[in-house]
C-alpha cells in the first residue's frame, strides 16, 4: 500500500499551476495551488469570478489540454500522478464531474439514455439490460419523474433543473471516488438547490465519495464542506476547516469576501458581495500580494513581496498582516492616518473601504 492509501488522502495537489499562452503573453491563471482531499470528505472552493476555480479543476482532470496550456506542479490521485499523464482513464469511473453549465456538457444531439448508458456499460461492465435498469434507478434517485420516458428524450426537452439532475446521474453512474462539482446548483431555484445538495450528501455518505464543491453560495460552503479554500487571482489566499474559516478568518480577502456572512437572523443563502476594485489581470498581476491593490491593510512590503501560504493546524493563509493580529491593527491605523494604503487605495476612517 502506498502513502496516499495509508493516509486516506485521495487527492494531493502541490504547487499546481496552469498558464495559457495568449497574444498578450503568459496568463498565469492558477499559481502554485496546494491542497489535500481525504477520502469521503468535501473541500469547498470559493472566490470571485475569474479567480481560477474552474480552470484549476478542469485542468486537473485533463480537460483543457491544448498547446496553449502550460501545466506545472504535482497532483496525485490515489498516489498516481495526473500532471503530464493522460487522465481519461479516470473519467467517469473514478472521478465524476458536474459542470457549471449542463447544456455545454450534455451532448445536445444524443438521447439522455445513451449518455447515461455509455458510462454504465463502460465503467461498470454492465450489459445493456442491466445498464438500462441501473439508469432508471439513477434517474429515480436524482428525483426525475417518469425515468423510462426520459431515457428517450434529448437534453433540450428537459428543464434546467432536470438537466442538472441528469448530469448528476451521469457523474455518479460510475460510483466515483471523487466528484468535482462546479457550481452544481447555480441557476436553480432554492428548493431544487437544496434537494440536489441533500441528494449529493446522501450519495456521498452511501458510497464514501470525496467531493470538490465550487460554489458562490456561502451558506452552501459553510454547511456542506469540511474545508474551504479561498482563491484569488489564481492563488490560494486561505485554506481552513470550514467553520474555522467563518469564525476565525485570517486573510483580508476572506474578510472582504465574507463581509456578507450569513447570520442567524439572515437568510441562509447569502451570496458573495462584490468587493470594490477589479480582479487582477492574469497576464500582468500586481507585484507582491495579488490582493494588495484592493486591500485596506496593504503596506509597502505587500507590494514587493509575494506572501507564501503558510500556517499551523491545517489553517493556512498568505498574508503579512493577518486579520485580528496586532500587526493588522497597526497596518490599518497607518493607512487611516495617511488616508490611503501603500498601493494608493483611499481609506476612510469609518467602514472597510
Ligand atoms: N483558455 C484560456 N485561455 C486564456 N485564459 C483563460 C482560458 N480559460 C480561462 N481563462 C481565464 O482564466 C481565468 C479564470 O477563469 P475561471 O473560469 O477558472 O474562473 P472561475 O473562478 O471559475 O470564475 P466563475 O466564478 O465565474 O466561474 C479568467 O481570467 C479567464 O479569462
Ligand atoms: S495585508 Fe498585505 S499581504 Fe495581506 S492581503 Fe493585504 S496586501 Fe496582501
Ligand atoms: Mg467557474
Nearest C-alpha neighbor of 163 from the set 188, 134, 141, 183: 188
Query: In angstroms, how far is the first alpha carbon of the chain from the final one?
Result: 52
Q: Which residues contact 251 (CB under 8 A, 6 or more apart)?
A: 230, 237, 238, 317, 318, 319, 322, 323
Distance 169 CA to ligand 3 centre (A): 21
215 in contact with ligand 1, CB cutoff 6 A: no
In 85-226 the beta strands, taken as DSSP E runs, fall at: 95-98, 178-182, 210-214
Q: What is the chain's mean pLDDT, rounded?
A: 89
| Torsional class of 244: left (φ above 0), alpha (ψ -120 to 50), beta (otherwise) | alpha
With pLDDT > 90 as the criterion, what percentage of the chain qualifies? 66
CA distance linking residue 42 with residue 228, whole number of Å:
9
Given a cut of 60, whether residue 353 has pLDDT beyond it is no
The range of the structural domain enclosing residue 163 comes to 108-170
Q: By three-state DSSP, how is residue 189 classified? A: coil
| pLDDT score for 112 | 95
Residue 262, ligand 2, Cβ within 6 A: no
Sheet hosting strand 227-232, strand order edge to edge: 95-98, 178-182, 210-214, 42-46, 227-232, 235-241, 316-317
Q: Which residues surround ligand 3, an ion (CB under 5 A)?
A: 54
Which grid cell is 50? Answer: 475569474
Q: Is the beta carbon of 289 within 6 A of some atom in ligand 2?
A: yes
The ligand 1 atom nearest the CA atom of 56:
18
Contact 83, 71 (CB under 8 A): yes
- Burial (CB count <10 Å: 0-12, 13-18, 19+), residue 278: exposed
Looking at the 3D structure of the chain, how many domains does it have?
1
- Nearest ligand, measured from the Cα of 25: 1
* Residue 132 belongs to a domain: yes
Please, which residues bridge with residue 74 across strands?
A: 14
Percent of the chain with pLDDT over 70: 92
> Which residue lies with its CA nearest to atom 7 of ligand 2?
292
Cβ–ligand 1 contact at 184 (below 6 Å): no
Expressed in angstroms and rounded, the spacing between residue 235 Cα and the centre of ligand 1 is 13
**Per-residue pLDDT tens digits for 269-296:** 555 556 788 899 999 999 999 999 999 9
Question: Does residue 119's CB lie within 6 angstroms of at least one atom of ligand 1?
Answer: no
- With a 6 A CB cut-off, is 30 part of the ligand 1 pocket? no
Question: C-alpha grid cell for residue 254?
Answer: 476572506
Q: Which residues of 319-348 are buried (b: 16+ CB within 10 A; e: fewer)?
A: bbbbbeeeebeebbeebeeeeebbbebebe
Q: Can you give the pLDDT at residue 350? A: 54
Residue 39 lies in a domain: no
Cβ-based neighbour number of residue 61 at 10 Å: 20
pLDDT per residue as tens digits for the range 141-191: 888 999 999 999 999 999 888 898 899 899 988 889 999 999 987 767 788
Closest ligand (CA of 30): 1
The Å distance, Cα 226 to ligand 3 centre, comes to 21
- H/E segment holding residue 131: helix 128-141
Residue at 133 is within a domain? yes
Ligand 1 centre and the CA of 53: distance in Å?
8
Whether the predicted pLDDT of 338 surpasses 70: yes
Ligand lying nearest the CA atom of residue 182: 3
Amino acid at each position: 500500500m502506498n502513502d496516499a492509501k495509508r493516509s486516506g488522502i485521495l487527492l494531493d495537489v502541490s504547487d499546481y499551476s496552469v498558464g495559457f499562452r495568449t497574444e498578450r503573453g503568459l496568463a498565469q491563471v492558477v499559481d502554485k495551488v496546494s491542497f489535500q482531499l481525504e477520502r469521503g470528505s468535501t473541500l469547498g472552493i470559493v472566490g470571485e469570478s475569474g479567480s481560477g476555480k474552474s480552470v484549476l479543476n478542469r485542468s486537473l482532470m485533463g480537460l483543457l489540454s491544448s498547446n496553449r496550456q502550460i501545466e506545472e506542479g504535482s497532483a496525485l490521485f490515489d498516489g498516481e500522478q495526473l500532471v503530464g499523464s493522460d487522465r481519461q482513464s479516470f473519467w467517469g469511473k473514478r472521478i465524476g464531474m458536474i459542470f457549471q453549465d449542463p447544456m455545454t456538457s450534455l451532448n445536445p444531439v444524443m438521447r439522455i439514455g445513451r449518455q447515461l448508458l455509455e458510462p454504465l456499460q463502460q465503467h461498470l461492465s454492465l450489459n445493456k439490460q442491466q445498464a438500462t435498469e441501473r439508469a432508471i434507478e439513477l434517474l429515480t434517485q436524482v428525483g426525475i419523474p417518469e425515468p423510462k420516458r426520459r431515457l428517450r428524450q434529448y437534453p433540450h426537452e428537459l428543464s434546467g433543473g432536470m438537466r442538472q439532475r441528469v448530469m448528476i446521474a451521469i457523474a455518479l453512474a460510475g460510483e466515483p471516488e471523487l466528484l468535482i462539482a462546479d457550481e452544481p446548483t447555480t441557476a436553480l431555484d432554492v428548493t431544487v438547490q437544496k434537494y440536489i445538495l441533500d441528494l449529493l450528501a446522501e450519495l456521498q455518505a452511501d458510497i464514501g465519495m470525496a467531493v470538490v464543491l465550487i460554489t458562490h453560495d456561502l451558506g452552501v460552503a459553510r454547511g456542506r464542506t469540511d474545508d474551504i479554500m479561498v482563491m484569488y487571482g489564481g492563488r490560494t489566499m486561505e485554506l481552513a476547516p470550514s467553520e474555522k474559516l467563518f469564525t476565525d478568518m485570517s486573510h483580508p480577502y476572506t474578510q472582504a469576501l465574507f463581509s456578507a456572512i450569513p447570520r442567524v437572523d439572515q437568510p441562509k443563502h447569502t451570496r458573495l458581495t462584490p468587493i470594490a476594485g477589479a480582479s487582477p489581470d492574469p497576464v500582468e498581476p500586481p507585484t507582491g500580494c495579488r490582493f494588495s491593490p484592493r486591500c485596506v491593510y496593504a503596506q509597502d512590503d505587500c507590494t514587493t513581496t509575494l506572501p507564501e501560504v503558510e500556517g499551523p493546524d491545517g489553517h493556512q493563509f498568505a498574508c503579512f498582516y493577518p486579520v485580528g493580529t496586532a500587526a493588522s491593527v497597526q497596518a490599518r491605523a497607518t493607512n487611516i492616518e495617511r488616508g490611503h494604503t501603500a498601493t494608493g487605495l483611499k481609506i476612510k476612517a469609518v467602514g472597510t473601504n
